[in-house]
Amino acid sequence: MLILKGLKWAERKFKKLQLRFFSSASNHELLIQNQRVRSVRLLGGFNQIGISKAGRFSCTGLLDNQKVKIYECHSEEQVRLRQICEKSSFNGVSFPNLMAFDKKYVAEKWIHGLSFSKLSRSERTAYEHKLESFLNNLHTLELTTEEKSATHNSFCYLNDFLLSRLDPWLCFEDIGIFVDKWKQHYKEVSDLIPDRVSHPDLHEENIIIEKQTDRIYIIDNELLGYGKGWILDHRNSLFANKKNSHKCLQTPEIEHFINITWALRCIGSDLVSNHIHRALALAKNWTESSI
């Protein structure tokens, strides 16, 4: 066990070294919307440098001498959804300005400020209210009919992320059974849950308070989507211990579905972070209980 931990530690150090080596040789360039991004430095590195946890390319660079963060989108529709959110007002909480985008990549302005995770408890309270209303505002964002049809296939946190990352593991009987049961529940409740805009990654590290303006910025928008994924947005956020107060989620049937979906999320997180035994035990636990 100790040797395994040591090996993992060494692997992480090696990846960081690789990242630093690539970043120090920062004469790399790329093109986005025919604009040249210079001094490209890779981000990500969860499993592979330059690749995020969701398995997509991510880096920083200079566009017209301004620092940007670039990430690969799941689809052209997800790029469109990001544009729509840019235009919306969220009372003091913003998405970084879009500096360039094409059908696949988005370049967002780099925000100079302080990570929410570095704030003291009392400093946080000043912003928490705004952040909570941000999530609620996002969930009640009204899209026009044209916007809905342009974004409804943008990215679904449940199907395109939680479910698809279990694909390689379906050969384990308990995972296979768990997934089948989850799909059955999904079928039963999906008509009862409205589609909404969702941001399932609103945790402290992804929130920056801009120094100059004191504005709050949400800086990690790779999982921005549309569909039913919003049912886990609160649990996935810094408000994990507060209950999502949306009326349509208050029935026992949907509360149960939210719990199974949370289990789906935990099983996937365990699998991708090499806690295989824990993932299998969790799946078994659920399949043996009453789900």
Q: Is the CB of 219 or the CB of 263 nearer to ligand ADP?
A: 219
Choose the one of Mg ion, ligand ADP, none that binds residue 63, judging by a C-beta under 5 to 8 angstroms depending on kind.
none
Distance, CA of 130 to CA of 207 (rounded, Å): 12
* By the rule CB under 6 A, 43 interacts with ligand ADP: yes
Residue 179 C-beta: closest distance to ligand ADP, Å: 25
DSSP letter string, the chain: -HHHHHHHHHHHHHHHHHHHHHHHS----EEETTEEEEEEEE-B-SSBBTB-TTS-BEEEEEETTEEEEEEE-S-HHHHHHHHHHHHS--TTEEPPPEEEE-SSEEEEEPP-EEEGGGS-HHHHHHHHHHHHHHHHHHHTPPPPHHHHHHHTTS--IIIIIIIGGGGGGTTSHHHHHHHHHHHHHHHHHGGGS--EEE-TT--GGGEEEETTT--EEE---TT-EEESGGGGTTTTSTTTTSPP--GGG-SHHHHHHHHHHHHHHHHHHHHHTT-HHHHHHHHHHHHHTT-
Choose the one of ligand ADP, Mg ion, none that binds residue 202, judging by a C-beta under 5 to 8 angstroms depending on kind.
none
* By the rule CB under 6 A, 208 interacts with ligand ADP: yes
Is residue 38 helix, strand or coil?
A: strand
Q: Is the CB of 157 or the CB of 182 nearer to ligand ADP?
A: 157
Is residue 287 helix, strand or coil?
A: helix
Residue 76 C-beta: closest distance to Mg ion, Å: 23
List the one residue from 58, 78, 154, 206 that touches Mg ion (CB under 5 A): 206
Residue with tokens 């566009």: 63
Stretch 209-228 residues interacting with ligand ADP (CB under 6 A): 219-220
Draw the binding track, 60-89, toward ligand ADP (x: CB under 6 A; -: no contact): ---------x--------------------
Query: What order do you get walking across the sheet with 35-42 strand by strand?
Result: 30-32, 35-42, 58-63, 66-72, 105-109, 98-101
CB-nearest residue to Mg ion: 220
Residue 84 C-beta: closest distance to ligand ADP, Å: 18
Stretch 211-230 residues interacting with Mg ion (CB under 5 A): 220
Residue 174 C-beta: closest distance to ligand ADP, Å: 29
Stretch that binds Mg ion, among 86-94, 143-151, 198-206, 265-273 (CB under 5 A): 198-206
* By the rule CB under 6 A, 161 interacts with ligand ADP: no
Q: Is the CB of 78 or the CB of 178 nearer to ligand ADP?
A: 78
Choose the one of ligand ADP, Mg ion, none that binds residue 177, judging by a C-beta under 5 to 8 angstroms depending on kind.
none
Stretch that binds ligand ADP, among 27-35, 106-114, 121-129, 267-275 (CB under 6 A): 106-114
Q: Is the CB of 52 or the CB of 261 nearer to ligand ADP?
A: 52
Q: Applying CB under 5 A, which residues contact Mg ion?
A: 206, 220
Q: Applying CB under 6 A, which residues contact ligand ADP?
A: 43-44, 52-53, 69, 96, 108, 110-111, 205-206, 208, 219-220
